[in-house]
């Protein structure tokens, strides 16, 4: 899975898809494999395939991890232009996490994909303040492509320590 994720983040989608399909053949009940394949399909613009894989991941996931999967599937739905579905899952996630730590970076990604730049930056700020481990992806993360051209993005790169 690590190699497939790396290839996907490197925008080498076809290679990542091939590895993930092979892994799913030998482990079809692994929800994480289906979720990563959904991401890669979404990144490549294959939205129908992404949604199918996202739904499979949700069907296979057990209760303790469901909230995280709901949030990441919200990102896939946002990529696919399924705004209502993305916001529903995001709202369910935020409601279920009241008073608990949240995945602020992924929330920023969802808002970025939905074109809600101010909310994306609000959550990105929180991710940086919280030292969220996913901020390591800030410079290359495809879901943030929608906000890269905004002048504020450069400031966030500085806040995160990527630029001087």
Q: How far is CA 110 from CA 10, 29, 30, in A?
A: 20, 26, 24
End-to-end CA separation in angstroms for the chain? 33
pLDDT recorded at residue 5: 79
What's the distance, CA 104 to chain centroid?
Answer: 11
Give the predicted TM-score (pTM) of the model: 0.86
Phi-psi region of 82 (alpha: psi -120 to 50; beta: other; left: phi over 0): beta
Residue ranges, CATH 1.25.40.10, the chain:
1-82
pLDDT recorded at residue 88: 94
pLDDT means per 10 residues in the chain (164 residues)? 75 90 94 91 93 91 76 90 94 88 92 96 93 85 92 90 80
Structure tokens at 51: 């949604």
What's the distance, CA 124 to chain centroid?
Answer: 13
Contact 149, 130 (CB under 8 A): no
Structure tokens at 1: 């899975």
What CATH homologous superfamily does 1-82 map to? Tetratricopeptide repeat domain (1.25.40.10)
pLDDT recorded at residue 6: 75
């Amino acid at each position: 899975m690590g190699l497939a994720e790396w290839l996907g983040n490197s925008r080498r989608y076809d290679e990542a898809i091939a590895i993930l399909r092979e892994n799913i053949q030998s482990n079809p009940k692994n929800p994480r494999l289906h979720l990563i394949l959904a991401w890669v399909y979404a990144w490549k613009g294959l939205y129908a395939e992404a949604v199918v894989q996202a739904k499979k991941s949700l069907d296979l996931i057990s209760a303790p991890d469901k909230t995280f999967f709901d949030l990441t599937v919200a990102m896939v739905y946002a990529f696919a232009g399924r705004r209502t579905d993305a916001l529903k899952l995001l709202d369910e996630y935020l409601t279920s996490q009241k008073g608990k730590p949240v995945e602020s970076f992924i929330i920023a990604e969802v808002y970025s994909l939905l074109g809600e730049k101010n909310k994306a930056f609000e959550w990105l700020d929180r991710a940086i303040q919280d030292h969220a481990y996913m901020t390591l992806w800030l410079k290359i993360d495809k879901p943030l492509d929608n906000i890269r051209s905004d002048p504020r993005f450069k400031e966030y790169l500085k806040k995160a320590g990527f630029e001087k």
